[in-house]
Each structure stands twice: as C-alpha cells, then as structure tokens.
Amino acid sequence: ALGYDQGGKLCSEFLTVDHKPDQPGERARIEASGGSVEYLHNSFNKPFIRGGDFFPRRKLGEKPMQLQYSRAFGGKDLKPYGLSSEAAVEQVVLGEAHKLLVLASDGLWDVCDESEAVRVCVEAAWQGRDAAHALVQFESRFCNAPMPRWLMRRRAKTPATPNRTKVCGCNGPRP
C-alpha cells in the first residue's frame, strides 16, 4: 500500500492485487487446465483452487493440495491444474508526494484495507513507535478475537500461526 499527500490530505492506494482463484481471468485459466475453484465452508467460504485429481486422490487416502491463491512459487501438485508462478510486476517511481510504503502479507490484508494500514503507520510514526510493529499489533487484535466453536476445535487440532510479515518505509520526515 502506498500513502501519499494529495493537497495536504494523506491518501492511499494498493499497488498490487491479490490473485484469488475466483477472479474471472484466474478462474478461466484454472478451469481450462482441468482444475476447479471451490468455496470451503470451514475456511470462511473463501475460494480455493483444486486439482482435477482431487477426489480420486482423496479416495486413495491421500491429502491432495488445495490453495487459497491462484499464483504461487510452490504448489507443484497444482501447477498442471492452472496454478501459476507468473508474478504480476508493476514499476512505480516514487516522488515527493509519496510518504509511506507498506509491504505486508495476506495476514494483514485479510483484516485491513490500504487506508487503515497507512493510518496505523502514520499514527505510530507520530507517536515515535515502530510502524511495522504497530501493524503486527493491529492484526493481532483480529487474530485474538473470539472465534466460532467449530474453528476453535479445528485450530486445536492444527494450530495456525498468523502470517505477520510487515515492512514500512517512510519517505522523508514524519508523514
């Protein structure tokens, strides 16, 4: 996310787009390759890519892979079914108006939009706190929120660690 000054007002925008399996272009590639897109009820009804061999392999007692993203470096089992490792690259020239750049993982973007992330970073900077740490604390509030019982049972069996990679950079003095 990029925070920038527009006429004295701090604005924000995403510089990238997450590649989700249910986006029209991503879905078309997956389905043309013999894969499918399924919404999993035990994962907050999020879309997942499945290989065309999912059910036959499951019947054999295997645990075939399914991913929430349609592009990844790993996931070799899903490559024949439309999972792509091709990155979307965009070059942005930063200028004086650009005040803040937030690089973060889906752990943050699943619970926060770009304007909220920029706001958290700016508030932390004005208070003399580390902006990346402030984002981790912000995300933790959502990770520690009460969960439905079925999710608590599931996490007890397979504990999940939140993805907390954050980097914040400021351009010049405090934003």
Convert the pLDDT of each residue in 88-107 to its tens digit: 888 889 899 999 899 887 77
Residue 14 CA to its chain's centroid (Å): 12
Instruction: Answer yes or no: is pLDDT of 145 > 60.
Output: no
Task: Collapse the DSSP code of 172 into the 3-class scheme (helix H, G, I; strand E, B; otherwise coil) and give the result.
Answer: coil
pLDDT at 158: 40
Contact (Cβ atoms closer than 8 angstroms) between residue 38 and residue 46: no
Environment class of 66 (CB within 10 Å of its CB; exposed 0-12, middle 13-18, buried 19+): buried
pLDDT at 153: 43
**Range of weakest confidence among 38-42, 105-109, 123-127:** 105-109
pTM for the whole thing? 0.70
pLDDT at 97: 93
Instruction: Answer yes or no: is pLDDT of 154 > 50.
Output: no
Contact (Cβ atoms closer than 8 angstroms) between residue 138 and residue 102: no
What is the C-alpha R_g of the chain? 19
pLDDT at 74: 85
How wide is the angle at C-alpha 101 spanned by C-alphas 98 and 105, nearest 5°? 155
pLDDT at 119: 93
Rounded distance between C-alpha atoms, residue 175 and residue 172, angstroms: 8
Rounded distance between C-alpha atoms, residue 119 and residue 134, angstroms: 10
Q: How far apart are the first and last CA of the chain?
A: 14
DSSP 73-132: S--GGGGGGT-B-PPP-------TTEEEEEEE-HHHHTT--HHHHHHHHHHHHHTT--HH
